[in-house]
Amino acid sequence: MASEENFMRAPAPSPKRTIYTEAMEIFHRAADLIGLDKRVRLELEEPDYEHIFYVTAKLKDRLVPLAPEEAKAFSDLSVTQVRNPDGLERLADGKIILNGRALLGSDVNIRRGHLRLPDGGVYQLVPGESQRFKAYRVQHNQARGPYKGGIRYHREVSLDLFKALAAEMTWKTAISEVPFGGGKGGIQIDPRQYGREELENITLRFMYKLKSMIGPNIDIPAPDVGTNGDIMALMYRQYSDGERERHNMRGIVTGKDVRIGGSEGRVKATGQGVVYCIEDYYADRGETVKGKTFTMQGFGNVGSHGASILSTLGARLLAVNDADGTIYNGDGIDVQALMAYVSDPKNLKRTVAGFPGAQKIEKKDLWDIQADMLIPAALGGEITADIAERLKVKLIAEGANGPTTPEADRVLQKRGIDLIPDIIANAGGVTVSYYEWIQNKRMERWSEAEVDQRLEKAMKRNYRIIRDISRNQPRKTEMHDSRPYCIGKTVDPRCAAMILALKRIEAHYLLEGFSQ
Ligand code: NAD
């Protein structure tokens, strides 16, 4: 029997390898190299706050399709003519949500809880129940300004993952010189399995619970995987509902629709930022993007806009992999047609799979395609050491957060494959989020050209500083000054980016001191 002493005692912490410890490897390497102040290191090693909370919502009734075998038992069930087909909302998993009064006034033929729709399928009517979802917000560091970072709706999330992503935001906001710290959060949910109104209810409840922890000058969420401007609009409404000065609260979230205080150029900003870095990478070598080929993983916000801008500049997209398939066309994929295909409301999974302008290949074959660049723009940890050994590209521009594992990083260096690391490559999103936040504060509205111009300068200036740190080439030009950041020896680009972040963050602690 356990002694009373041991009762309810937490096991001693063991040094486990986790997503967070992996992500922090580069932090420790850069911190060692620059001799980061010990107390600053302790401040940055763990987040300021880690919130875990729960969100409940009442789901709607669903029609769940029967497999053809099971449906045989209902072969003589006559068709239910639905009077209000708009009330039926088809989901990517084949289920159908019954919205409002979908079946009201219809001639409903139900047998043992089953009905047949005009599409011929037999469906089981499953009553909606309440469900609980796990939610997170990690606030990593605010030395440079309010916490800032996206909201992810995805099945595979965890505190460990959000800690890593929140820390990434701390580095990224420092690198892009915006006056923010780092945060990240979201809900453990596959949003494609829920209807519009269900997602609205879940989001409102999420913000209801989040409200006490965030604010336009405290912590500012934005879209990430599985969320978008629609979700941001709901979050804004819920945060500001009934408040006397709600017009002053528009900056509570960024990534809003331009019609409700979003910034021009924000939707494409992350993809645009990736392309500004790529342009500068080639400009430095006396080359241009024109005629270059690329492959891509992920064709959501970052991937599709990045690909579209690159193709406008004359680069050719050869292959794309997403969550549901992989496509290839050696002559180049028509990116505009692919964007139209993916965003077609009939394409419930929003996938590239089945695109008529390309052939289907296996995901594993994506990594063997010869191209100038690979742009990962999906999830983290996808480029492993094995994959890095196989890649036949010359440059990886990380649109996604953390797509390359530390082992893969070492392989890429050994093989001489160049890298534009995530914390600069995909910083365009948070940079334009900052522009949105300023516009909200000042009640201004900037044109797309103005936003792009500022973004281009910011991305290229900071990317050039990182390149100079990497090459140990301290210099001051009209555009940038890398002298305070070079460390007297060359380092790989990921480490150089981290050095830039840490030196900028450290300055705050060293100059302002620590509040007691
Ligand atoms: P999104 O939800 O719009 O698109 C995600 C894409 O990844 C989809 O095409 C999806 O099919 C694909 N995907 C998901 N799981 C996959 C898997 N297992 N294998 C292959 N593909 C998979 O998300 P997004 O906003 O474009 O974000 C993509 C990445 O960029 C994420 O890592 C995100 O953190 C990062 N990022 C986004 C922004 C932004 O502004 N949206 C900013 C910085 C970084």
Query: Does the CA dihedral 174-141-28-160 come out positive or negative?
Result: negative
| Confidence label for 91 from pLDDT (cuts 50, 70 and 90) | very high
The pTM of the whole model exceeds 0.85: yes
For ligand 1, the distance from its centroid to the CA atom of residue 380, given in whole angstroms, is 9
Q: Name the percent of the chain lying above pLDDT 90.
A: 90
Of all protein residues, the one whose alpha carbon is nearest to atom 35 of ligand 1 is 400
Note whether 406 and 22 are within 8 A (CB).
yes
Q: What is the pLDDT of residue 182?
A: 98
Short-list 197, 249, 9, CA closest to 89: 197
Query: Does the CA dihedral 267-269-270-275 come out positive or negative?
Result: positive
Of all protein residues, the one whose alpha carbon is nearest to atom 33 of ligand 1 is 400
β-partners of residue 64 are: 124
**Pairing assessment for the beta strands 62-65 and 122-126 based on DSSP bridges:** antiparallel
DSSP of 437-477, one letter per residue?
HHHHHHT----HHHHHHHHHHHHHHHHHHHHHHHHT---B-
Pocket test for ligand 1, best of 157, 162, 225 (most atoms within 8 A of CB): 225
pLDDT at 15 over 80: no
Of all protein residues, the one whose alpha carbon is nearest to atom 22 of ligand 1 is 323
Give CA 148 to chain center in angstroms: 13
Summarize pLDDT for 331-386 with one digit per residue, the tens: 999 999 999 999 999 998 999 999 999 999 999 999 999 999 999 999 999 999 99
| Confidence label for 5 from pLDDT (cuts 50, 70 and 90) | low
Note whether 496 and 423 are within 8 A (CB).
no
For ligand 1, the distance from its centroid to the CA atom of residue 183, given in whole angstroms, is 17
Three-state SS at 165: helix
pLDDT at 6 over 90: no
- In single-letter form, the type of residue at position 463 comes to Y
Summarize pLDDT for 341-356 with one digit per residue, the tens: 999 999 989 999 999 9
Q: Which residues line ligand 1 (CB under 6 A)?
A: 223-226, 270, 297-303, 321-323, 377-379, 399-401, 426, 429
In this prediction, residues 253-271 reach a mean pLDDT of: 97
CB atoms within 10 A of CB 68: 9
Query: Does the CA dihedral 301-306-311-312 come out positive or negative?
Result: positive
pLDDT at 1 over 70: no
Short-list 502, 450, 500, CA closest to 480: 500
Please indicate whether residue 503 is annotated as part of the active site. no
Note whether 233 and 153 are within 8 A (CB).
no
Token pair, residue 508, equals 């705050």
Summarize pLDDT for 410-420 with one digit per residue, the tens: 999 999 999 99
For ligand 1, the distance from its centroid to the CA atom of residue 301, given in whole angstroms, is 7
For ligand 1, the distance from its centroid to the CA atom of residue 401, given in whole angstroms, is 9
pLDDT at 394 over 90: yes
Summarize pLDDT for 455-483 with one digit per residue, the tens: 999 999 999 999 999 999 999 999 999 99
Pocket test for ligand 1, best of 322, 350, 383, 430 (most atoms within 8 A of CB): 322
Summarize pLDDT for 286-296 with one digit per residue, the tens: 999 999 999 99
Q: What is the pLDDT of residue 16?
A: 84
Note whether 209 and 187 are within 8 A (CB).
no
| Confidence label for 102 from pLDDT (cuts 50, 70 and 90) | confident
pLDDT at 516 over 60: yes
- In single-letter form, the type of residue at position 320 comes to V
Q: What is the pLDDT of residue 104?
A: 79
Q: What is the pLDDT of residue 4?
A: 55
Short-list 376, 57, 381, 99, CA closest to 187: 57
**Pairing assessment for the beta strands 96-98 and 147-154 based on DSSP bridges:** unpaired
Sequence-distant contacts of 331-335: CB under 8 A, at least 24 apart: 332/293, 333/357, 333/358, 335/304, 335/307, 335/308, 335/310, 335/311
Rg (CA), the chain: 25
In this prediction, residues 186-204 reach a mean pLDDT of: 97
Token pair, residue 1, equals 């029997």
| Confidence label for 86 from pLDDT (cuts 50, 70 and 90) | confident
pLDDT at 196 over 60: yes
Short-list 402, 369, 365, 368, CA closest to 383: 402
Q: Which atom of ligand 1 is nearest to the CA of 433?
A: 40
Phi and psi dihedrals of 449, rounded to 5? Answer: -65, -40
Q: Which of 60, 184, 268, 460 is flagged as catalytic?
A: 184
What is the rounded average pLDDT for all residues in the chain? 95
pLDDT at 274 over 80: yes
Give a three-class secondary structure readout of 61-108. CEEEECCHHHHHHHCCCCECECCCHHHEEECCCCCEEECCCCCCCCEC
CA atoms within 13 A of residue 199's CA, in its CB half-sphere = 24
- In single-letter form, the type of residue at position 249 comes to M
| Confidence label for 244 from pLDDT (cuts 50, 70 and 90) | very high
Q: What is the pLDDT of residue 119?
A: 87
For ligand 1, the distance from its centroid to the CA atom of residue 500, given in whole angstroms, is 26
Q: What is the pLDDT of residue 3?
A: 55
- In single-letter form, the type of residue at position 62 comes to R
What is the residue whose two structure tokens read 């019609």?
259
pLDDT at 13 over 80: no
Summarize pLDDT for 126-152 with one digit per residue, the tens: 999 999 999 999 999 999 999 999 999
Q: Which atom of ligand 1 is nearest to the CA of 349?
A: 11
Pocket test for ligand 1, best of 171, 187, 270, 455 (most atoms within 8 A of CB): 270
pLDDT at 39 over 60: yes
Q: Which atom of ligand 1 is nearest to the CA of 382?
A: 19
| Confidence label for 209 from pLDDT (cuts 50, 70 and 90) | very high
Short-list 68, 81, 67, 69, CA closest to 115: 81
Of all protein residues, the one whose alpha carbon is nearest to atom 21 of ligand 1 is 322
Of all protein residues, the one whose alpha carbon is nearest to atom 32 of ligand 1 is 400
pLDDT at 33 over 70: yes
| Confidence label for 84 from pLDDT (cuts 50, 70 and 90) | confident
Phi and psi dihedrals of 25, rounded to 5? Answer: -55, -45
Q: 211-235 in b/e burial notation, b at 16+ Cβ within 10 A?
A: eebbebeebbbbbbbbbbbebbbbb
First to last CA, the chain: 45
